[in-house]
Every structure is written in C-alpha cells, then in structure tokens.
Structure 1
Amino acid sequence: MSEHDGAVAVRTIDRADDPRIEDFRELRERDLGRRGVFIAEGEVVVRVLLGRGRFAVRSVLLGASRVRGLEDALARHPGLAVHEAAQPVLDAIAGFALHRGVLASADRGPELDAAAVLAGLGPGPRRVVALEGVVNHDNVGGIFRNAAAFGADAVLLDEVTCDPLYRKAIRVSVGASLFVPFARLHHERTVALLQAHGFTVLALTPADDAVDLSTLGAPPGRVALLLGAEGPGLSEA
C-alpha cells in the first residue's frame, strides 16, 4: 500500500484474480445488478459519483497513472478502498481494454418510490420527464443528460425502460443519472400519478396531427414531458 502526497492510501493490485477487486471483474452488468452493485466509468463520471451522487461508493480502481488526477476527490472519502493497477492488469480484470483507466463501484440502495419522489418535490414550478419503453441505453443516458441540463427535478421510468445505472447509460449521461432522482412505475399509472401531483402532462410525438409545442404559449408551472421509444413511440395508455 502506498500514499500519494500523504492524503490517499492506495493499494496496488498486480493480479486479476485478487479478491479485493471482485466488483470490477469481467464487469457482467446483469450479475452486478442482481448483487445490488453498479459500475461508474471514466474520470468525469467518477468525480460526479464521489461529489454529487446519492449512492454509497464501495471501491475505486484506477490505472497507475490516473491516481494523482483524482486525489482531491478521493481525499474527501477517508477510508474508501482505492486500488491501482498497471494497464495490462486493468484490462485483464475488466475483460476488455479499459482505455479510461478509472472505475468505481457503488451500492444501488433501495429503489425510490415514484409517488414519494413527486411528493418530495414540494409546491411551485417543477419539471419532470417520464419515459415509456425506452430500451436503448444511449437514449436513456442522453435523456438524463438533457434532463439535468434543463433543470428537471426527476425522471420517471416505466417497467421496461432500461436501467439508468447501466454502465453505458451512466457514461452517456455524464453522471447525471447519479444525481437526478428517478423511480419506476407501471406505464398505465404514470399520467394519473403526475396529474394527482398537479402536473400538466405533455406527451411528445412526431405524429402529423400533434399540437405544435410553439403554439402552447407559456409553459405551465408544473409540467411533465412524456417520451416514448424511437420506433413505436408512446402507447395509447
């Protein structure tokens, strides 16, 4: 074990089968999901996890050359297990060429309840995004990234929308899915729940007979945007 500038204790890993880095081995997403763990990848995303994320960080695995670049963020988490490894060992651990050289594992924790999330937003103007049947991880990540950029207060997911904590979705979101609250519910409950909490629901569609957004005037104080998948779009429900 070594210390960098006396602030961060770093354990050196020289074997891919070291039990201390079990979270990162082969990075099988479904297995990680069943164990209640997810992986964040890349310096920007891991900084979000360490600084803004609502999830408990378990461990960090870095390329030997990446430790100093994250020392300030790591120093705010005394006692966190931080490991470093040479590039060939990193690649063997992950099961692929890990060019970014920065990984962190975190506990998913209990799922949030959709009604509780909306109730917790309080009164006044609010913005919520609701997704139905969005099964592409890039799209989910991009939606979270835009939701954060435009100040959305929460994202609701139906029962089939893919996991915002899938490694690729987190990466595309640039870490937004780590701090924008999200919750799941059945798609047939979404509109009624939003309306019960005072939201005007705007269902977005490219249909020819849809109302043009530019004709709506000033947006309502509490508005929810409902988005469907690229192909089939929104269901009739």
Structure 2
Amino acid sequence: MPDLIPIDDPNDPRVAAYRDIKERDLVGRQGLFIAEGETVLAAFVRDAPQRVQSLLIDGKRIDKLGEVLAGLPPGVPVHVAGQAVLDAIAGFHLHRGVLAVGAKPKPLSAEALLAGVGPRAVVLVLMGIANHDNLGGIFRNAAAFGVDGVILDGDCCDPFYRKAIRVSIGATLSVPTAGLAPGEDLVALLARHGFQALALSPGARETLAELDPPARAAVLLGAEGPGLSKTVMDRARTIGIPMANGFDSLNVATTSGIVLHHLRFAKR
C-alpha cells in the first residue's frame, strides 16, 4: 500500500491537476487525461500502470481499493480527501469518489498498427464518430471481442476524454489505437497489409450472416446519420444487418458488437 497524502484544502497545489474538471475537459490537458471510478482505475492500473501519474480518492473508499493501490508503481502519489473537499476540487459532486491523472501514450500511426498485428486479425476503423458515448461503447466491444486495434480518422472524438474512458470501462486505455493521417488512403492502406475492408451499410446486398470472416478483417464504421463516405463505400465490401419491420437503423456501438461477435465466433 503506498503512502496516503491527506488533502484538507481544495486549493492545495498538489491536486491542481484535478481542479475544475469539467472546464478543463473542454480545453484539454496537454497530453494528460482524467480517469474516474473504481472499475476504470482497476483497469488502468492493471493495463497501463506506468502511465498513472497520481490519484485523488475519497477516504471512505480506500479499504475497497487495497489490491488496486498495491499494483501502483513506486512513487505514484495517492491523495485522499473527504467528499466535501473532493467536490470543491472537482467543481461538481463526484459521487464515484475516485480520480486518476494519466499520461496519454505516444501517437501510433495506422501503418504501424496494421504492420504489428498477426496473420489473423480484426481491426476497427472509425470515421467521424464524434459522440463520446458511442466511441466508449465501441471500445468496450473492441476489448470484449479481442480486437487487435482501432484506427480513428481526424473527425473522431478523443478516446481519452473522461466520458469516453468511463463508458468504455477503461478499454480506451488498453486497446491499441492509431490515427489515420490527413489525406491518407484508407482502403489502399488496408489492402497493402492484406486487410479486407468491410463497410457497414443498411443498403448492402450482402448480409453479415452470409459473411465468411476473412483472415484479416477491417470493420469500417461511420457516424450515425451520414455514415461512411461514398468514396470509401465504393471501394469496400459492403455488409448489412437485416432488421425487422422495415427498420433500418442501429446504434453504431450496437452495430460494432454484432459485427465483432460474428467475426470472432462464426464458423469458417
């Protein structure tokens, strides 16, 4: 168990990184992020302990976190405060009572991610996913079904935004993630690494149930509403998920879960 640092003053400079969390969510943290909640903290310490910079915890929760705290690298400061002080620091009522500051990983290129996976692999390519709930849900599915990596285009929101981390239950901290460079030819990139581009579309003639999962599959998902661009769709293999009673819309995170389950467990 690391030494605990009591915090009695919300203006204590040692917890400056936690002050006015919602306002700083909007302006960014220059390479850092905030993770909140016991489950997320446990995932963070398990999967990326070297990136944990500090903790701020409601003193009443310390006993429940003994095993997690024991997994911290030596020297990580663990600040402890009462609920009132915690709320004053954060700028709102923090009912989860557990916060951590972490360092984002070094940026990874899509080229490097694809080059580093095995001969059988599944990756997700997200284009224009700007809703943090959807992004977090997709990452949660990616972790659950053992996706080898996620590639984000420049129009996606930040997977290290506090809400995205929380909704993903910490999966954004562990699933390998890369960025697509501006102007990079996605379909050509995938083909160069032997990946078949599978574009999800309600208008596709081929259904997911008919799909024999390829050895290397890249699942392309666009934002709800506009979906994927015609330029991408025209060069990819389009796959649809039939729905009942003429309904033609699924939440994009739900779609990702259905597709990933098929790719992982359908008989080849």
| TM-score, normalised by the number of residues in structure 1 | 0.91
Distance in structure 2 (CA, Å) of the matches to 1:74 and 1:85: 16
RMSD: 1.4
Mapped pair 1:144 → 2:133: no
1:92 alignment partner AA: A
Residues 210 and 92 (structure 1), Cα distance of their counterparts in 2 relative to 1, 3 Å cut: farther
The alpha-carbon deviation at position 54 of structure 1 amounts to: 6.9
Distance in structure 2 (CA, Å) of the matches to 1:68 and 1:189: 51
Name which of 11, 16, 20 aligns with 2:14.
20
Greater displacement, 142-151 / 187-196: 187-196
The alpha-carbon deviation at position 166 of structure 1 amounts to: 0.4
Taking every aligned residue pair, what percent have the same amino acid on both sides? 52
Residues 188 and 234 (structure 1), Cα distance of their counterparts in 2 relative to 1, 3 Å cut: farther
Distance in structure 1 (CA, Å) of the matches to 2:115 and 2:224: 30
Distance in structure 2 (CA, Å) of the matches to 1:168 and 1:80: 24
Name which of 100, 109, 132 aligns with 1:113.
109
Q: Show the 5 A alignment for 1:69-108.
A: 69-77=64-72, 78-108=74-104
The alpha-carbon deviation at position 87 of structure 1 amounts to: 0.4
The alpha-carbon deviation at position 189 of structure 1 amounts to: 2.2
Structure with the bigger percentage of helix:
2
Q: Show the 5 A alignment for 1:1-237.
A: 7-27=1-21, 28-33=24-29, 35-53=30-48, 56-77=51-72, 78-122=74-118, 124-185=119-180, 186=182, 188-207=184-203, 209-216=204-211, 218-237=212-231
Distance in structure 1 (CA, Å) of the matches to 2:185 and 2:19: 38
Residues 210 and 29 (structure 1), Cα distance of their counterparts in 2 relative to 1, 3 Å cut: farther
Distance in structure 2 (CA, Å) of the matches to 1:25 and 1:187: 38
Distance in structure 1 (CA, Å) of the matches to 2:183 and 2:196: 16
Distance in structure 2 (CA, Å) of the matches to 1:144 and 1:68: 30
Distance in structure 1 (CA, Å) of the matches to 2:47 and 2:141: 17
User: Given that residues 55 and 109 in structure 1 are in contact (C-alpha distance below 8 angstroms), is that contact kept between their aligned partners in structure 2?
Assistant: no
Query: What's the secondary structure of 2:185's corresponding residue?
Result: helix
User: Given that residues 49 and 55 in structure 1 are in contact (C-alpha distance below 8 angstroms), is that contact kept between their aligned partners in structure 2?
Assistant: no
Residues 92 and 142 (structure 1), Cα distance of their counterparts in 2 relative to 1, 3 Å cut: same
Query: What's the secondary structure of 1:8's corresponding residue?
Result: coil
User: Given that residues 49 and 71 in structure 2 are in contact (C-alpha distance below 8 angstroms), is that contact kept between their aligned partners in structure 1?
Assistant: no
1:225 alignment partner AA: V
Query: What's the secondary structure of 2:230's corresponding residue?
Result: coil
Runs of at least 5 residues in structure 2 that lack an aligned partner in the other structure: 232-268
| TM-score, normalised by the number of residues in structure 2 | 0.81
Task: Provide the aligned length of Structure 1 versus Structure 2.
Answer: 227
Runs of at least 5 residues in structure 1 that lack an aligned partner in the other structure: 1-6
User: Given that residues 132 and 163 in structure 2 are in contact (C-alpha distance below 8 angstroms), is that contact kept between their aligned partners in structure 1?
Assistant: yes
Residues 187 and 134 (structure 1), Cα distance of their counterparts in 2 relative to 1, 3 Å cut: farther
CA distances 1:27-60 after superposition (whole Å, capped 9, x unpaired) = 1114343x21101110000111111137611100
Residues 142 and 220 (structure 1), Cα distance of their counterparts in 2 relative to 1, 3 Å cut: same
